[in-house]
């Protein structure tokens, strides 16, 4: 990343439940985006990380204020405890915005409670509100009091916020079709240099596959199929993320040839990607989890741009109508298996191990596709559209 940082039009308070040192796709996305901007131009309002959660490295020089506090992830009442803090956290965020002389509040979802904090701080201060939706709100499957909060918050946020960013064009299309709201795709920025050519790699003697990130209801069942297929071809699978053996067992991934680990450094994660023969991304079928069918179909894993930028073979496994499948098919940037079949996955893994020409071709396509996520372009879009919000030209 270049040494000279961009400047925002005015100071922004970013309200997000996910930010380093919390691990996860949304945390990585926000860290990658905000590090393009001068540190004086933004401050993050978030919750103190849960004491039992794995942690990544802090973002150098970032100003982070804890307006709420998470309890233990496995403890009972975790969500209720977090939701009960919304009024206090909103008042603290409003006070932070006044103290910082901020000109705009940016709310980030998929954390429902902190999106509510951003909206209420906007109401308390009268500052413009921008929101960045990494997932859908109503389609996320919230029930009980969280469902009531989601139904109350959704129309108010969409009416108040400009701009409304989404993770992908597919998400924006659904917002327009279902909710009649114009939104703008703002994709995951990739900040590191992207190679010009695919490295010439010898065919592997023992296939080494890598999955990075959290195993969750939206991807666990599909990942278990990939894990079994890796075993069929005599390979090994590494799961690198905030997962323990209990999590692997819960989703059927705790197999003899599977190991799990966690590294705090982004550089170490990228090194691991370059050191493996195939990089795995999965999304499960609608009947395999409680996650809403519309939400999981429109998901675009934040790990995918990082995979593509390494030029290594990428294996995607999900239904054909999902956004991830359409993207990979359009750009021919990896091996895509849309059958719920371990045999089809094993065949794809065998092809990856033996077809050097396909590895070179799809690796080159992956590098070209990764340039769509280049950090400078995404950061400039964020700056320009936030400028419009502050000036009033982006308001309703």
What domains can you pick out in the chain, each with its CATH number? 12-189+374-391 (3.40.50.2000), 208-372 (3.40.50.2000)
Torsion of CA 313, 237, 25, 265, to 10 degrees: -100
Under a CB-based contact definition with an 8 Å cutoff, are residues 307 and 190 in contact? Answer: no
- The whole-number pLDDT of residue 207 equals 94
Do residues 231 and 259 touch, judged by C-beta distance below 8 A? no
Rounded to two decimals, the pTM is 0.91
The total of other beta-carbon atoms located within 10 Å of residue 393's CB is 9
| pLDDT of amino acid 75 | 58
- Give the per-residue pLDDT at 396: 42
pLDDT tens figures, 105-162: 999 999 999 999 999 999 999 999 999 999 999 887 788 999 999 999 999 999 999 9
380 half-sphere exposure, CB direction, 13 A CA radius: 5
| Mean model confidence pLDDT for the chain | 93
Predicted pLDDT of residue 77: 75
- Cα 178 to chain centroid distance, Å, stands at 23
- Per residue in 359-387, pLDDT tens? 999 999 999 999 999 999 999 999 999 99
Segments of the chain scoring below 50 in pLDDT: 1, 394-396
- Rounded Cα distance between 247 and 224, Å, is 12
Could you give the CA distance from residue 173 to residue 182 in angstroms, rounded to a whole number? 8
pLDDT at 70: 83
Q: Name the strands in the sheet holding 184-185, side by side, starting at the edge strand that comes first in the sequence.
A: 64-69, 42-48, 12-15, 104-109, 129-133, 164-166, 184-185
């Amino acid at each position: 990343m270049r040494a000279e940082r961009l400047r925002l039009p005015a100071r922004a308070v970013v309200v997000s439940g996910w930010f380093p040192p919390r691990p996860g796709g949304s945390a990585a996305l926000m860290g990658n985006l905000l590090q393009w901007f001068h540190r004086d131009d933004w401050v993050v309002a978030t919750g103190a990380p849960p004491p039992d959660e794995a942690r990544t490295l802090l973002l150098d020089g970032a100003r982070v204020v804890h307006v709420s506090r998470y309890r233990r992830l496995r403890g009972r009442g975790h969500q209720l405890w977090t939701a009960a803090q919304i009024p206090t956290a909103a008042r603290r965020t409003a006070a932070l915005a006044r103290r910082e002389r901020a000109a705009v509040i940016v709310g980030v979802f998929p954390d429902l409670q902190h999106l509510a904090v951003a909206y209420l701080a906007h109401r308390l201060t009268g500052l413009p509100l921008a929101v960045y939706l990494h997932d859908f709100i109503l389609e996320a499957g919230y029930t009980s009091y969280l469902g009531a909060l989601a139904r109350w918050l959704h129309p108010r946020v969409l009416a108040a916020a400009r701009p409304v960013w989404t993770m992908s064009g597919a998400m924006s299309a659904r917002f327009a079709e279902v909710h009649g709201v114009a939104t703008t795709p703002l994709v995951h920025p990739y900040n590191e240099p992207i190679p010009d050519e695919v490295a010439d790699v010898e065919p592997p003697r023992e296939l080494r596959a890598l999955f990075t990130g959290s195993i969750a209801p939206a991807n666990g069942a599909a990942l278990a199929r990939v894990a079994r297929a890796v075993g069929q071809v005599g390979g090994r699978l590494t799961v690198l993320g905030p997962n323990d053996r209990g999590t692997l067992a819960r989703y059927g991934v705790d197999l003899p040839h599977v190991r799990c680990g966690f590294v705090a450094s982004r550089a170490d994660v990228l090194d691991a990607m370059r050191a493996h023969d195939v990089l795995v991304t999965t999304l499960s079928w609608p009947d395999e989890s409680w996650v809403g069918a519309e939400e999981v179909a429109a998901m675009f894993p934040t790990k995918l741009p990082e995979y593509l930028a390494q030029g290594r073979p990428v294996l995607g496994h999900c239904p054909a109508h999902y956004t991830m499948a359409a993207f990979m098919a359009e750009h021919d940037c990896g091996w895509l298996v849309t059958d719920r079949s371990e045999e089809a996955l094993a065949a794809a893994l065998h092809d990856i191990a033996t077809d050097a020409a396909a590895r070179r071709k799809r690796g080159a396509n992956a590098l070209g596709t990764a340039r769509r996520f280049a950090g400078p372009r995404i950061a400039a879009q964020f700056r320009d559209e936030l400028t419009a919000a502050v000036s009033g030209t982006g308001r309703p």
